[in-house]
Chain A
Amino acid sequence: MARKISMKQAINEALDQEMARDPSVICMGEDIVGGAGGDGERDAWGGVLGVTKGLYAKHGDRLLDTPLSESAYIGAAIGAAACGMRPVAELMFIDFMGVCFDQIYNQAAKFKYMFGGKAQTPVVIRAMVGAGFRAAAQHSQMLTPLFTHIPGLKVVCPSTPYDTKGLLIQSIRDNDPVIFCEHKSLYALEGDVPEQSYTIPFGEANVVREGKSVTIVTYAMMVHRSLEAAAALAKEGVDCEVIDLRTLSPLDIDTVLDSVGKTGRLVCVDEANPRCSIAADVAAQVAQEAFGALKGPIAMVTAPHAPVPFSPVLEDAYIPSSAQIAAAVKRTLAGARH
């Protein structure tokens, strides 16, 4: 039975169902229960934004509050994964990955390869990504490209509650390290989610809107901005196809190539900074693989090459808007190939 729940509830439900199903699944992170060692309420927070609230009552000591030591506990999650557990570690904000990045990219990502295929590291690192919370430069970044660059890591960044639940369950069952990116501005977004457990395979993009004129490739919050742009453009007779990548590593480039083969036009939309972004990667792959199908220049819509600003007027200008996406669509439609 599907009912409408928020993305935040979808995460909670996925964790709850996987912990009930598999005793090797444990969760750890800063304040994921909250109130540890104090005189007040246990499960006081359930995570900084309440995502894991209520899980402690059901699963007890399989949820571990950690000291503020990202290197130690992210590394411990990775070490436990190499020893047969399936830890889900919450990094809180992805911006904090700089503190513990060695454990992620030099340890977890490399064990399988570096040890000749004889190790596996089924760890999930959950972290909030993205802007929109007036949280400024160190709590708002879209750092998905940094992880996508590293062989050995898988990178997931869903846009809906339905995808969030299915992809998180898949992430926990997957035997490789997964960076599970949750857009904080989508936490309250509600959508239909089945109560029963289900998985969504990695590397399968979702065509969220079919169209003939132009292909928009994006993920996370920008899916919604792109759909807004597509709705506005439809009134002008421009028929956009919108592709939600859902997983950035592995990347379903085939679905993108098929779409560009049909439309001949490509707009890549990414909340990340432009250089070496997911948008730049998709653009480069399409230029290499489907140059002949392109009827106009590829357009990119990204955040600027600047940190995320605090002042609301600046942050609003920083995040790519549906108007910017619509303008990019028009640019690529206007540009002809000679």
Chain B
Amino acid sequence: MAGNPFPLDKAHLLQAYRTMRTIREFEERLHVDFGRGDIPGFVHLYAGEEAAGTGIMMHLGDGDRIASTHRGHGHCIAKGVDVVSMMKEIYGKKGGACEGKGGSMHIADLSKGMMGANGILGAGAPLACGAALAAKYRKKREVAISFVGDGASNQGTFLESLNLAAVWNLPVIFVVENNGYAESTSRDYGVAVDSYVDRAAGFGLPGVTVDGTDFFAVYEAAGEIIKRAREGGGPSLLECKMVRFYGHFEGDAQTYRGAGEIDDIRANRDCIKKFSAAVTAAGVVAATELKAIDHEVLGMIENAVIQAKAAPLPTVADLTTDVYVKY
């Protein structure tokens, strides 16, 4: 048995793989089901970006809060939100994570520290500051993570939050998931600085850029800055350079992409392929073990879809419930 060169033991490597594979299969299944017309509304898929959410969330417990984006399925799964309740929600069913009232763009589970996917770009950053502030008062060494895309990194809410977090020395980490596109617009068109590390420095925050398709790079960088935040060392920014396998939303023809771009990123920048190659080449995990997880995950997703389709629809009586706690 070869030595383990990775920062995680075998059980945790398998857990990371299982999480990434679950996100991938969840999104691939939605791609198919949405295309068939089974799913109402909009869905924004996280396929291709799994290593970022997974590598960060492996450092978090339920008491740590995250504020997600419109592309939130991967964050939910990595944060431990139940996959069946997510699928029911996306199908608009009762018993979904939000009883069918939120849908794909608003899945939340406060008991897991998941403060919600968010349909308003950049809106999660102030909320994460609030979660971090609450953690600071509670003195339980909890942290909060704010996810934004490269597009929403230009929102005033995000930029104001960088300053507020620095001024209040909050235990919050701003993760920029830079997949190169704000909807259809290139990151290089919409962001004037080349480096998010420079942008963080402009607000007095340490920043680090990693290859977001490299699980281990994300895991190690996130571990360091999350540890610092827990110990009272304050906020940081983490940029994950990553790739989006699908369009901005399902149904996006993606004509803004270069020729061969999708084939190239799927062949060469697939975070799960890279992870699998690394752990099997090192002899720490056998390919058959990964295959067994693949099989198991596929069954779990199929089961989630079956349960979602079978779940009851909300009734008109649900229309005006839960507007207020008490009114």
Contacts and interface: CB of A to CB of B under 8 A. Distances in A.
A64 interface: yes
A81 B65 CA distance: 13
Interface in B139-167: 144, 156-157, 160-161, 163-164, 167
B157 A72 contact: yes
Contacts of B189: none
A23 to B, nearest CB: 8
B154 to A, nearest CB: 14
A64 B167 CA distance: 11
A123 to B, nearest CB: 9
B102 interface: yes
Contacts of A72: 125-126, 129, 157, 160-161, 163-164
A116 B102 contact: yes
A71 B157 contact: yes
B282 interface: no
Nearest to B110: A119
Interface string B107-141: 01111000110111001011111110111011000
Interface residues of B, number: 48
A161 interface: no
B109 A106 contact: no
Interface in A89-130: 102-103, 106-107, 111-120
Contacts of B160: 67, 69, 71-72
B24 interface: no
A231 interface: no
Contacts, number: 153
A111 B96 CA distance: 15
Nearest to B97: A116
A232 interface: no
A112 B127 contact: no
Interface string B283-327: 000000000000000000000000000000000000001111111
Nearest to A26: B137
Given A67-B163, A102-B120, A113-B323, A118 B110 contact: yes
B99 interface: yes
A75 B130 contact: yes
Interface in A39-81: 62, 64, 66-67, 69, 71-81
B326 to A, nearest CB: 7
Contacts of A154: 324, 327
> What are the 9 tightest A-B residue pairs by CB atom distance, in nearest-first order?
A79-B130, A75-B126, A116-B99, A79-B127, A117-B322, A116-B98, A72-B160, A80-B130, A76-B130
